[in-house]
Structure 1
């Protein structure tokens, strides 16, 4: 990786097209179906409890939602707040870093809705040829 100068000194330059670049792992994480949907849901509705998220994301298992939230929390995109009550009250919300993904993910989601019929048609044509 080449270094780029910034005010605090050299900063690594990341290239996801290079083998071993950590940005590839990040793209893998935020590009997963459930991560996109969790981030989108939190972006649309703000703070949410686990049960509400699970209900909003039809088809996600409890295990997958838990894993996705943990990964997003580890990556600094989602924060988890536990309130000391019985039973415990836990809320999730986008961090400032997570908020920066709202517009790009919204654009990707809108593109998928706009073009899903085109993709279905292309898949059918491909399958018919093969």
Structure 2
């Protein structure tokens, strides 16, 4: 893996959680583990393919843990790692800012 160089902490944080969906996935997993179908319903508008890709990236970066239960039918749960929980905690103020300014943001042409 190529070593990355960042200009600041925000640059590093955006790299690990960048994109439209990762923040919503982190938020959805904040209350506890979810199965794939539950997670897909918790993140409206995401396609199955995109959810799979995002979960793989998040697992590779250490944000999400994938637990496979060997049973019939097969069961897979996704949960946040400590690293993922720490990022989720850091995103709370950003979410609060977004909530407080949603009307203004929606009005931007």
Q: TM-score, normalised by structure 2?
A: 0.84
Corresponding residue SS for 1:33: coil
* Greater RCO, CA 8 A, separation 6+: 2
1:28 aligns with 2:15: yes
Corresponding residue SS for 2:46: coil
Greater strand share, structure number = 1
User: What is the alpha-carbon distance in structure 2 between the residues aligned to residue 120 and residue 27 of structure 1?
Assistant: 22
Which runs of 5 or more residues in structure 2 are unaligned? none
What is the aligned residue count?
105
Which runs of 5 or more residues in structure 1 are unaligned? 1-13, 125-130
Q: Specify the alignment match of 1:69 in structure 2.
A: 55
Give the drift of 1:24.
4.5
Q: Specify the alignment match of 1:42 in structure 2.
A: 29
User: What is the alpha-carbon distance in structure 2 between the residues aligned to residue 108 and residue 55 of structure 1?
Assistant: 23
Q: Specify the alignment match of 1:98 in structure 2.
A: 84
User: What is the alpha-carbon distance in structure 2 between the residues aligned to residue 47 and residue 33 of structure 1?
Assistant: 21
* Aligned CA-pair RMSD: 2.1
Corresponding residue SS for 1:101: helix
1:81 aligns with 2:67: yes
Moved over 4 A (4+): 23-26
Q: TM-score, normalised by structure 1?
A: 0.72
